Amino acid sequence: MLKSWLPVPPDSDFSIHNLPFGIFSDERPARAGLAIGNWVVDLAAAYALNMFPQYPEAGSAFRKPALNDVMALGRGFSEYVRKIVQTALCDHQSDLKQFADHLLIPQKKVRMHMPLKVGNYTDFYSSEEHAFSVGQLFRPDNPLFPNWKHLPVAYHGRASSIVVSGTPVPRPRGQTGQSNGTPAFRPTNALDYELELAFVIGKDSMIGQPIPADEAEGYIFGMLLLNDWSARDIQRWEYQPLGPFTSKNFATGVSPWVVTWEALQHFRTPAPAQQPEPFPYLTHHPRQNFDLSLSVSINPASSEEFLVCQTNSSGIYWTAAQQIAHHTITGCNLQTGDLLATGTISGNGILQKGCLLEATINGTQPVKLHEGTERRFLEDQDEVIMRGFGQKDGIRVGFGELRGRVLPALH
């Protein structure tokens, strides 16, 4: 157990064992930092004090308004930076403590930015509980399509509309189906969230060369929380035969701090057994997920937040390694900054449903919030708050918060 001289609340997601990377600004331009407790370590300023002598190229990477150049230096580099800062936080004589007024900035005084420049975004459908529940709503006799247990189903999302936590989301307009089989054009009446995790790709692969499942995790820099905002009525009308389009391309939220792959290893847990056995290119040993507690709350306008989901990522059917192996089996290449999301993460209980489509059984059974307040889908001014963390053996590593407030449709 590491002990920091900097006071860190015991329930902080940003313990000394975490130290996630993010992009922040104050009165100076956006640059890279690490989170520790309620503070940000200014990595550009720390570099100027020669805290990272083994990587002279780090100075330029730390001053960029995205983490792509930091990630491109490799996981060996990011681990070196974390170890240097961890050691400095345990040493009362370190430069970090001696120059704390210069190197440590209160989080409440900074603005967080998109942590990376996303070139490509793929959203999977990896939770069996979610896939089964949604399938049961529309195909009660055949909830899972025949392909679902043979490959990680996914769709390619829109990278340009991925936004950082705190970015408001105007209610989208679009075509929705009517009972007479003709469309209407209007603001969505079925706006939903989807609780997900996203794997951040930290190095390029070569086009034409699939990534073996046993090597796939080596391409992951870290993880984020992700909210795949969805307009369900638009989605129902447009998704056949090619899948979601405008029902999901208007906004995808991500948390601002990237938790490194190494910081999450303490929370590895066996993944569910797979039956039938997948093709050899999708097999890897050991198959592991992460034991991470995940939650969603809704905060209506001028009210207090209300917990609507509490679940765990340990039961995801298709692992990150399998997602990457399938994504690249045709020779598709991955690039630094790509995001691969898990899809909605759900459990079996009603409080474990990672979206309102499931929790309200397609809007037929509203979720009760405060006294006299309920939701079938999201209303204007609702704020959705997602959280996630792992906690084991006195060590806590978390993602912080992912927030987004619904605004009225633009005219």
For the segment 142-152, what is each residue's pLDDT rounded down to a tens digit?
Answer: 999 999 999 99
89-103 exposure pattern, b = at least 16 Cβ within 10 A, e = fewer: bbeeebebbeeeeeb
Residue 302 in this model has a pLDDT that exceeds 80: no
- Quick: pLDDT tens for 21-76: 999 999 999 999 999 999 999 999 999 999 999 999 999 999 999 999 999 999 99
Let me know if domain 21-112 sits in CATH 2.30.30.230.
yes
User: Considering the chain, what is the average pLDDT of its residues?
Assistant: 97
Give the Cα separation of 79 and 61 in Å (integer): 15
Report residue 332 CA to chain centroid gap: 22
Domain extents in the chain = 21-112, 130-407
Retrieve residue 37's tokens: 């407790």
- At 104, the pLDDT band (50, 70, 90 cuts) reads very high
Task: Kindly report the backbone phi and psi dihedral angles of residue 289, in degrees, each rounded to the nearest multiple of 5, phi listed first.
Answer: -115, -160
Active site annotation includes 130: yes
CA 60 vs CA 57, 68, 224, 255, 260: distances in Å: 6, 12, 24, 24, 21
Kindly state the tokens that stand for 1: 């157990």
pLDDT at 370: 85
Average pLDDT over residues 257-269: 98
- Architecture of the domain defined by 130-407: Alpha-Beta Complex (3.90)
Question: 217-231, pLDDT tens digit by residue?
Answer: 999 999 999 999 999
pLDDT tens track for 315-339: 999 999 999 999 999 999 999 999 9
Using 50, 70 and 90 to split pLDDT, how confident is the model at 411? Answer: confident
C-alpha span between 281 and 272 (Å, rounded): 18
Catalytic residue among 17, 130, 156, 266: 130
**What does the pLDDT read at residue 303?**
77
User: Does the pLDDT value for residue 168 go beyond 80?
Assistant: yes
Determine the Cα–Cα distance for residues 338 and 21; give it in Å rounded to an integer: 16
Evaluate if residue 1 carries a pLDDT over 90: no
Q: Is residue 301's pLDDT more than 90?
A: no
Is there a contact between 165 and 402 (Cβ–Cβ < 8 Å)?
yes
Give me the pLDDT at residue 316, please.
98
Higher pLDDT, 371 or 361: 361
CA distances from 165 to 26, 260, 383 (A): 17, 18, 11
Q: Sort 298 into a burial class: Cβ within 10 Å, 0-12 / 13-18 / 19+.
A: buried
Q: Work out the percent of the chain whose per-residue pLDDT is above 90.
A: 97
CA distance linking residue 284 with residue 288, whole number of Å: 9
Give first-to-last CA distance, the chain, whole Å. Answer: 55
d(CA 121, CA 199): 10
Q: What are phi and psi of 281, to 5 degrees?
A: -70, -15
